[in-house]
């Protein structure tokens, strides 16, 4: 079983919709949770970073971590065509040198 | 956020040649740099972790003699793909982490095509 599971999609939504992206993980030792956005043929760009459980909001983006169910989410409000990209969740812990464990990535398409 | 510069962005080479990819942290000193490989529509696969001044730690299944990593300074790491073959064609991405933060900042990636 992969340590981080993520539905690859593709997910297609109309402009203005609320987008919900999710990942599950298996290792309860993970302490750090991140969401990266990757445009085609580019490196990943950090969107959200969370330590332990809880919510974090930044503009139109909200990240949620539920360690009890090993579930992490990213919500995008008022989605825009420019949000079309692949979204990668990632986890890490200090015991493994903070190496990132990535999900497969979810491809999102926001249509005008 | 911190900036990581990766160069070149695109390489096309003949089979049997070696290719060097540079990864620089522009505005911070990176204690640790990571090298990833990504195939189309796949996630990033960690190849190796390098700490400045010490030998890289390679992930299982990654040939260290094939993928030479040098992290000679706190701002520069290089990946050399030696005697490249078509199966080495991929998207290679580096990232850097600086002491005191657990976040990795990524370069823009290098697309390698071996003919």
Which pLDDT tens digit goes with each residue over A16-47? 999 999 999 999 888 899 999 999 889 999 99
| A109 SS3 class | strand
pLDDT of residue B99: 73
Which pLDDT tens digit goes with each residue over B73-94? 888 999 999 999 999 999 999 9
pLDDT above 90: residue A94: no
B46–A98 CB contact, under 8 Å: no
pLDDT of residue B108: 94
A97–B32 CB contact, under 8 Å: yes
Mean of pLDDT over chain B: 91
Q: Is A40 exposed, middle or buried (0-12, 13-18, 19+ CB in 10 A)?
A: exposed
Mutate to test the interface with A, among B21, B92, B102 (most CBs of A within 10 A): B102
pLDDT of residue B1: 60
pLDDT of residue B74: 85
pLDDT above 80: residue A81: yes
Q: Which residues of A fall within a CB distance of 8 Å from B93? A: 43-44
pLDDT of residue A16: 97
Peptide bond into A10 cis (omega under 30): yes
Instruction: Write the residue in A43, A92, A98 that is nearest to B109 by C-beta.
Output: A43
Least confident of A53-62, A81-90, A94-103: A94-103
pLDDT above 60: residue A1: no
Q: Which residues of B fall within a CB distance of 8 Å from A98? A: 32, 97, 102, 104
Instruction: Write the residue in A8, A46, A88 that is nearest to B103 by C-beta.
Output: A46
Instruction: Write the residue in A41, A46, A97 that is nearest to B105 by C-beta.
Output: A46
pLDDT of residue A43: 92
Residue B76 contacts A where some CB pair is shorter than 8 Å: no
Alpha-carbon distance A75 to A61, whole Å?
6
Q: Which residues of B fall within a CB distance of 8 Å from A51? A: 102
pLDDT less than 50: residues of chain B = none
A98–B1 CB contact, under 8 Å: no
pLDDT of residue B2: 65
Would you say the C-alpha torsion A26, B108, A80, A49 has a positive or negative sign?
Answer: positive
pLDDT above 60: residue A92: yes
Of A4, A9, A87, A98, the residue nearest B98 (C-alpha): A98
| A82 SS3 class | helix
Residue A14: pLDDT band with limits 50, 70, 90 = very high
Dihedral of the CA atoms B52, B75, A100, A81 (nearest 10)? -170
């Amino acid at each position: 079983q992969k340590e981080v599971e993520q539905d690859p999609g593709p997910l297609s939504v109309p402009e203005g919709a609320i987008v919900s992206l999710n990942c599950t993980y298996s290792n309860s030792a993970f302490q750090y949770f991140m969401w990266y956005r990757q445009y085609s043929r580019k490196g990943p760009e950090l969107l959200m970073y969370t330590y332990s459980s809880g919510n974090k909001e930044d503009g139109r983006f909200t990240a949620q971590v539920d360690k009890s169910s090993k579930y992490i989410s990213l919500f995008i409000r008022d989605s825009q065509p420019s949000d079309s990209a692949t979204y990668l969740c990632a986890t890490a812990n200090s015991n493994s040198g903070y190496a990132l464990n990535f999900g497969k990535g979810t491809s999102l398409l926001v249509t005008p | 956020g911190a900036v990581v510069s990766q160069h070149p962005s695109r390489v096309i080479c003949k089979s049997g040649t070696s290719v060097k990819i540079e990864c620089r942290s522009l505005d911070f000193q990176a204690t640790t740099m990571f090298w990833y490989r990504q195939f189309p529509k796949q996630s990033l696969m960690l190849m190796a972790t390098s700490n400045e001044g010490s030998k890289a730690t390679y992930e299982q299944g990654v040939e260290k003699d094939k993928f030479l990593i040098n992290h000679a300074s706190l701002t520069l790491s290089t990946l050399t793909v030696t005697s490249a073959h078509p199966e080495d064609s991929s998207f290679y991405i580096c990232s850097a982490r600086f002491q005191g933060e657990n976040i990795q900042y990524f370069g823009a990636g290098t697309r390698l095509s071996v003919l």
